[in-house]
Amino acid sequence: MQQKRLPLPDVDLAYLEAGSGPPLVLLHGWPEWSAVWRRNIPALAERFRVLAPDLRNFGDSQGPPAERVEDYVADLAAFADALGLERFGLVGHDVGAFLMQDYARQAPERLTGLFFFDCPHLGLGKRWVEGGHLRELWYQSFHQLPLALELVGQSRGACRTYFRHFLTHWSHSPQAFDDRALEEWVDNFLKPGNLAGGFAWYKAVNARRLAAIAGTLPPQGRIAVPACSLWGESDRILLASWQDSLTGLFDDIALELAPQAGHFVHWEQPALANERIARFFAGRE
């Protein structure tokens, strides 16, 4: 597995690459960066050319702050074009899963398939705030406040406490991320610009999310690219009961729940995740 850099006109993207064969691009979520795929890349690289970029201002990628969802989607398009990926598969989680939907509507002919882990989407509408779930969404508003950076970034201890909450609360087991992994997460998000880069996503997507909740969002086109969803049974932020809503967005999607996994299926149950990804993309070129 090699870490590489791809200078593009508007952004400088860092990415991990391994293997050869049909290309797969892995898109992380928050609070993540490309290193979250390290339990997946070696196994997938036995059959695929695996590419895992850091999104803009996550990990080691750098660029001007993203202001719109379209900025991240444009980065993905530029990444694929610059690497000569004529046809490729997309695997994504959380933020990455959201971006995949936009790209699939924009360039379906480029994609061999879409594989989702715990997938936020605009079709969830009012489910975001029903049944007391609004309580879980506090961080999405907090990240848009100027004081968020000051509070979380004021010390290593504050940063550790903040990310420990998400890595334990959103996982099936509080021990899914051990102390060593937690310190790695703190190291990553204390790099200059990374807290702001992660928080910027919530500003970029906020208008769309609020419109979806209010029911004022224009209709979204259905996605014809073949898709598969593997969703953690214990996810506390993207509830497993929401997975059925994906059938309203995709013409062809297979749904499966991952036992003993929360929000981070690819990290918590890597053997299952790797087998399902490889099976889904087998013969898709």
Task: State pLDDT tens for residues 167-195.
Answer: 999 999 999 999 999 999 999 999 999 99
Is 143 an annotated catalytic residue? no
Among 94, 102, 118, 235, the one annotated catalytic: 94
182-212 CB burial, b ≥16 within 10 A, e <16: eeebbebbeeeebbebbbbbbebbeeebeeb
Among 93, 121, 172, 263, the one annotated catalytic: 263
Among 72, 102, 202, 235, the one annotated catalytic: 202
Dmax over CA atoms of the chain, in Å, equals 50
Give the whole-angstrom CA distance, residue 111 versus residue 216. 30
Strand partners, 88: 111
pLDDT tens, per residue, the chain with 285 residues: 899 999 999 899 999 999 999 999 999 999 999 999 999 999 999 999 999 999 999 999 999 999 999 999 999 999 999 999 999 999 999 999 999 999 999 999 999 999 999 999 999 999 999 999 999 999 999 999 999 999 999 999 999 999 999 999 999 999 999 999 999 999 999 999 999 999 999 999 999 999 999 999 988 889 999 999 999 999 999 999 999 999 999 999 999 999 999 999 999 999 999 999 999 999 887
Give the whole-angstrom CA distance, residue 203 versus residue 265. 26
Enumerate domains of the chain plus CATH numbers.
2-281 (3.40.50.1820)
Is 263 an annotated catalytic residue? yes
